[in-house]
Amino acid sequence: MAIAREHGKEQPYTGGVLKLRIPFVHYRIEYQDFIQGAILSCVPLGITAAMVKVLDIPIEVAVLMVVINNFLYLLHTSFGDPSVCGWITAGIPLYISYLTGFDAGPDRIQALVALQVLVGLIFLVLGVTGATRYVIKHFPISMRSGILLGAGFASLMRVFDPGQPFIGKMPIAFLISALASFFILFSVRALAYRQRYGWFAWVASFGIAPGFVVGYLAGLITGEISQPVGVLDRFIIQLPVGEMLSSFSAIGLGMPSAAMWGAGISLAIVAYVLAFGDILVLEALIDDSNKARPDEKIKFNVSRNHVITAIRNIVEGIHMPYLPLCGPQWTGGQALVVNRFKHSTPEQEPSYWGGATSIFWGMSLAMVFHPFVQIILPAKLIGFGLTLLIQGYLCIYLAFAMCTNNLQRGIAGVMGAVLVSANYVKLWGSPFWSGPTMALIVGAVLYFSLEHYTEKEKEEQTAKEHTVKAVQEGEVKPPEKEEK
C-alpha cells in the first residue's frame, strides 16, 4: 500500500531535490497503464527498421538499444518529472538525411554520437542555467498555440496521408481501431456510460488497449495484418551488449572528429527547437490534469526535465547512439496517462505517478519477452498511428483553449501552417531553416507587429478598459463633449 497523500498536496517522495518515488512505496502499479504500455511496445520497436537501414546494425542490436532506451525513460517519473517522455520525433527525417551524408559504417555511427551528445549538452546548459524556464514563462500565448497547432496538423496529416502506411496499408483495421479508441477516450456518451455501467468503466480504464485489440482482430480477418511468426523461438530476446559497445558506440569506435562535432551543431539546435514544442505540450497537459484532479498537485519543473533529458542523450550518445534522439516528452503516451488520470476518482487511481510510471514498466518489461514482441510487432503501425492521432487531437484542442481572442487565434493559425508547410523544403539547403525555425520567426514577427504592448502601453490599455467597463456599468459618467 503506497504512502497516503494530503488532499491538494504533492505525492510523497524520498529525498530532497531528486524526489525519488519507488513503486509500491510511493505509488501503486496501475495494471491498466501497465497493459497499455505493454501493447504500445510496438511503437518504439517501429524505429528498428530505420536503425538497421541507416546505421547498418543487426536487428538484435537495434532491439537491445530500444529496450535500454525505454528503461531510461523511467528516470523521469522516478525522480520527480511528470513527463511520459520519448523521442524528438519530428526531426527523424532530418537526422536520416544528415547521417546519409557520411559513409556507412563507423563514420555514420560517430556522426550520430556527436549529434546526440551535442543535443544533450544543449539541454544540460539550458536546464542548469534555468534559461528555458525564463523563456517559457514569457513565451506569448499566441506562439505557444501556434506550435501546438503545427504539431497537431503534422501528426494528423501523417496519419491521413494515403502515402503513409496507416490508411494506405490497413484502412479497415486502422479506422476501426481509431473509432473505438476515440469513442472510449473522448466521447461524451462514453463518459456517461462510465458512470452508468461498471463493466464499461473497467474496459475504458485500459485507454487505447481495447481499440488496439479490436483493430488487430479486424486486421487479421481482412488480411491487412500478417500472422505473427517465430513466437516460440525463444523466451527472452537476445542481449548482444558486447557487440553493441565494441562495434556501434564511441567506446569501441572512438570519439568523433572535430569536423563531425562542428557539422552537428546546427542540426542539434534544430532538434532542440523541435523539442521545445513538446515541452509546451507537456506543460499544458499537466496544467489540464491539475485542474481536473485538484486532490493531487503535480509540479512540472522544466529545469529538472532538461537535466534528465540531457543525461539520457549524453549517456546514450556515448554508449549506444540512438537514431530518434531523446526528447522531453511523448505526447501520445502523455495524453493517455493524463486522460485516464483525469477521468478517474482518487479511489480508482490514487496518484498520477502510478499511471505515468506503470506505462513504462509495462512497455520496457514487455519488450524483454520475445513471444510478446513477436505477437505485437505485426500490428505496430496501429499502435504508432493511434498515438499520432491522439497527439493531433489533443494538440489542436489545447491550442484553441489557450487563445483568448481572435488575434491570438489568427497568429497561431498562421504559425501552425508555416511550421507544417515549410517543413517540406529547406531554405538555402540548410536543415536549420526548415519548418520549426521559420515558424518561430513568422510567429515572432506577427506577435511583435500585431499583439505586443510595451509596459506603458499595457497600463494605458488596462486603464482604458477599466474606464469603459465602469461607464457601461454606470459607475462613472461618460466624459462630456466640448462645445464648439
Q: Does residue 482 belong to any structural domain of this protein?
A: no
Query: Among 321-330, 340-349, 372-381, where is mean pLDDT lowest?
Result: 372-381
8: exposed, middle or buried (Cβ count in 10 Å: 0-12, 13-18, 19+)? exposed
Q: Does residue 176 belong to any structural domain of this protein?
A: no
How many structural domains comprise the chain? 1
Run of H or E residues at 154: helix 141-160
- State yes or no: pLDDT of 230 exceeds 90: no
pLDDT of residue 421: 73
| Amino acid code (one letter) for 224 | E
User: If you average pLDDT over each of 36-40, 214-218, 390-394, which comes out highest?
Assistant: 214-218
- State yes or no: pLDDT of 483 exceeds 80: no
Calpha distance 439→432 (Å, rounded): 12
Average pLDDT, the chain: 85
Q: Is the distance from CB of 119 to CB of 404 less than 8 angstroms? A: no
Q: Does residue 20 belong to any structural domain of this protein?
A: no
pLDDT of residue 382: 85
Confidence at 304, pLDDT banded by 50, 70, 90: very high
C-alpha grid cell, residue 253: 569506435
DSSP assignment of 185-231 equals HH-HHHHHHHHH-HHHHHHHTTTTHHHHHHHHHHHHHHTSSPPP-ST
Mean pLDDT in residue range 43-63: 86
- State yes or no: pLDDT of 423 exceeds 60: no
| Residues written for the chain | 484
CA nearest neighbour of 124 among 429, 116, 182: 116
pLDDT of residue 365: 92
**3 state DSSP class of 270:** helix
Q: Is 409 left (phi over 0), alpha (psi -120 to 50) or beta?
A: alpha
Query: Among 61-65, 77-81, 208-212, 452-456, where is mean pLDDT lowest?
Result: 452-456
Q: Is the distance from CB of 2 to CB of 27 less than 8 angstroms? A: yes
pLDDT of residue 484: 46
Q: Does residue 16 belong to any structural domain of this protein?
A: no
Sign of the dihedral through C-alpha 134, 137, 140, 142: positive
Calpha distance 25→112 (Å, rounded): 39
Q: What angle do CA 188, 41, 217 make, to 5 degrees?
A: 65
Confidence at 1, pLDDT banded by 50, 70, 90: low
- State yes or no: pLDDT of 95 exceeds 50: yes
- State yes or no: pLDDT of 268 exceeds 80: yes
Residue-range definition of the domain harbouring residue 337: 31-170+225-407
Confidence at 395, pLDDT banded by 50, 70, 90: confident
Q: Does residue 311 belong to any structural domain of this protein?
A: yes
Q: Does residue 98 belong to any structural domain of this protein?
A: yes
**3 state DSSP class of 76:** helix
Calpha distance 355→80 (Å, rounded): 14
Calpha distance 87→388 (Å, rounded): 13
Q: Does residue 444 belong to any structural domain of this protein?
A: no
pLDDT of residue 431: 54
Calpha distance 431→266 (Å, rounded): 8
pLDDT of residue 429: 63
- State yes or no: pLDDT of 473 exceeds 80: no
Q: Does residue 266 belong to any structural domain of this protein?
A: yes
